[in-house]
């Protein structure tokens, strides 16, 4: 591709890239996948740039390349799933349960008194030792132990009865 045709392609992508990305997003419903799809279609368009004589036809060419590429990816993905009569040895990991638990735990933490919440978060989220927490908070190690213990007890109670604080 000569220099001027290369520049024409760059100008086209700069001018129409946003519109084409929007079309790719509609095809994929996912921003990252849409970017990949558009990049693949633009690569195909770049290779055919010298053969496209009508500048008004470029958008159609790119869109057709996106549709064809998306169909190809969809078919390839479809072949990756094989139905079976046998159940797996272990259940499939369902991330929604963990996400819901994390959300519930976050709400329960907000119901702890500030000092308990801070001590529990430093101990279990930041993995700090009791001595490090004591130094950070300016209290004794014994105070940290009792504060974390009371905080964990209250968290257990809150998580056992979620309705008690609006879950």
| CATH number, position 38 | 1.10.1740.10
Closest CA to 107 of 155, 64, 69: 155
Which two tokens mark 132? 């490090």
Judge if 13 and 75 occupy the same domain.
Answer: yes
**pTM of the model as a whole:** 0.46
Structural domain boundaries enclosing 59:
3-79
Q: How many domains does the chain have?
A: 2
> Are the CB atoms for 77 and 28 separated by under 8 Å?
no
88-146 pLDDT, tens digit each: 666 666 666 667 777 888 888 888 898 898 898 888 877 889 999 998 889 999 999 99
| CATH number, position 135 | 1.10.10.10
């Amino acid at each position: 591709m000569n220099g001027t045709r290369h520049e024409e392609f760059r100008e086209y992508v700069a001018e129409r890239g946003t519109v084409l990305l929007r079309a790719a997003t509609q095809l994929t419903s996912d921003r990252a996948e849409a970017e990949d799809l558009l990049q693949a279609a633009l690569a195909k368009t770049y290779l055919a740039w010298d053969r496209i004589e009508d500048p008004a036809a470029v958008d159609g060419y790119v869109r057709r390349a996106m549709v064809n590429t998306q169909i190809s990816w969809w078919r390839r993905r479809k072949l990756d799933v094989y139905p079976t009569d046998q159940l797996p040895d272990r259940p499939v990991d369902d991330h929604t349960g963990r996400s819901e638990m994390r959300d519930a735990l976050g709400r329960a933490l907000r119901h702890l008194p500030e000092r308990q919440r801070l001590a529990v978060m430093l101990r279990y989220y930041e993995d700090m030792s009791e001595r490090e927490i004591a130094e950070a908070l300016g209290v004794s190690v014994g105070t940290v132990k009792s504060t974390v213990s009371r905080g964990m007890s209250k968290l257990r109670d809150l998580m056992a009865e979620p309705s008690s604080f609006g879950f």
